Amino acid sequence: MARVGFVGLGIMGVGMAGNLKKKGHDLVVWNRTKEKCQALEKEGAKVADTPADVVKECDIVFACLADPDIAMDVVFRDDGILKVCPGKAYVDCSTVDEECSNKIGDAITAAGGRFLEAPVSGSKKPAEDGTLIFLTAGDESLYKDSQPYLEAMGKKHRYLGKTGGGARMKLVVNMIMGSMMNAFAEGMTLAESSDLDLSALLEVLDAGAMSNPMFRLKGPSMAKGEYPPAFPLKHQQKDMRLALALGDKLEVPMPVAAAANESFKRARMEGKGDLDFSAVHGSLRKAK
Ligand SMILES: NC(=O)C1=CN([C@@H]2O[C@H](COP(=O)(O)OP(=O)(O)OC[C@H]3O[C@@H](n4cnc5c(N)ncnc54)[C@H](OP(=O)(O)O)[C@@H]3O)[C@@H](O)[C@H]2O)C=CC1
Ligand SMILES: O=CCCC(=O)O
């Protein structure tokens, strides 16, 4: 089986790369913080010193990095992905804007490589369980060649046309999710302040038209004021910012998303950026 690379072993990357290994793929990994490579190294993965070293050893490399600046740095730095690109394939699963994705895709293609953007829906648990949803766009031949790997890490994959389609789809989805989370957090705060039982609220919501996995999953810990990080709030705020920039560019009014972004910004200022994005609820409770 061909060697596969993975750069960026954060909350998502470690689970995704772990599933490639579990499915029998020969794996080479790189992460800025080396300690995060240890668990996979014990499972038999090779740890590379630089992103370029991963590309040297693998025909296809996946990435899951924090934000657009970092996604670009890992490609364009002196020992980055671009260094050794001809004939290689790069699949970026980071959530970024289409400008970032296009810069990366154009540079890799110009250097003789192939590029696919593949941001994901689903969080820490789906990354661990191999049940992510991939929103891919870019080189269609690479989409086809990536399928065994996408299937090792996910339950569904969609091809959305030329580079940018995956990034835009991901930002729209996360903009909706961030707005929903704020409405949910405000509802929980109002219920608590008006002497309602939160478990009763969750039960009523779950029985009706607004029932959804996110409320079901996050509600019970939010009710206890606990926000263990699955999707860090700093990344959700980044996604709101990028979605709002897309709305600005296209002159789409987004007053609900703009208000939700302000709540996430406030929560970040309060030091909640590394908690789960449901910690926006903690800001409201504090403010009440
Ligand atoms: N968590 C989630 O539920 C989901 C997250 N996403 C998206 O996936 C991406 C990764 O998310 P997640 O795993 O949660 O994030 P984490 O913050 O856990 O991981 C971020 C990754 O980026 C790396 N990184 C950060 N700064 C640098 C830098 N300066 N140079 C090199 N590498 C760097 C980190 O390395 P280091 O370990 O050294 O810090 C780590 O590997 C983000 O774009 C996020 O929006 C998408 C779907 C769900
Ligand atoms: O980008 C993060 C998405 C989290 C999720 O889809 O549950």
Note the pLDDT tens digit of each residue in 98-147.
Answer: 999 999 999 999 999 999 999 999 999 999 999 999 999 999 999 999 99
Q: Which ligand is nearest to the CA of 124?
A: 1
Domain boundary residue, one of 163, 198, 217: 163
pLDDT, one tens digit per residue, over 185-227 is 999 999 999 999 999 999 999 999 999 999 999 999 999 999 9
Assess whether the C-beta atom of 164 lies below 6 angstroms from ligand 2: no
* CB-CB contact of 47 with 37 (8 Å): yes
ipTM over 0.95: yes
Domain boundary residue, one of 163, 183, 211: 163
Q: Where are the alpha helices (DSSP H) in 134-197?
A: 140-153, 165-193
Q: Is the pLDDT at 287 greater than 70, yes or no?
A: no
Separation CA 255–CA 270 (nearest Å): 23
Could you give the number of structural domains in the chain?
2
Residue ID of nearest Cα to ligand 1 atom 2? 231
Which CATH number covers residue 281? Answer: 1.10.1040.10
Residues 8, 81, single domain; the answer is: yes
CA 1 to ligand 2 center in whole angstroms: 31
- Which residues neighbour 240 within 8 Å (Cβ) at sequence distance 6 or greater? 174, 175, 178, 257, 260, 261, 264
Report the chain's terminal Cα–Cα distance, integer Å.
Answer: 57
Active-site annotation holds for 162 = no
pTM equals 0.97
Catalytic residue among 46, 88, 124, 170: 170
Residues 111, 253, single domain; the answer is: no
Residue 283: which region, alpha, beta or left (left: phi > 0; alpha: psi -120 to 50)?
alpha
The pLDDT of residue 13 is: 98
Residue 16: closest CA among 87, 119, 108: 119
* CB-CB contact of 92 with 118 (8 Å): yes
The pLDDT of residue 1 is: 63
- In single-letter form, the type of residue at position 267 comes to A
CA 32 to ligand 1 center in whole angstroms: 10
CA 44 to ligand 1 center in whole angstroms: 23
Assess whether the C-beta atom of 230 lies below 6 angstroms from ligand 1: yes
* Domain range for 144: 3-163
Separation CA 119–CA 132 (nearest Å): 10
Separation CA 74–CA 60 (nearest Å): 15
Which CATH number covers residue 77? Answer: 3.40.50.720
Q: Is the pLDDT at 78 greater than 70, yes or no?
A: yes
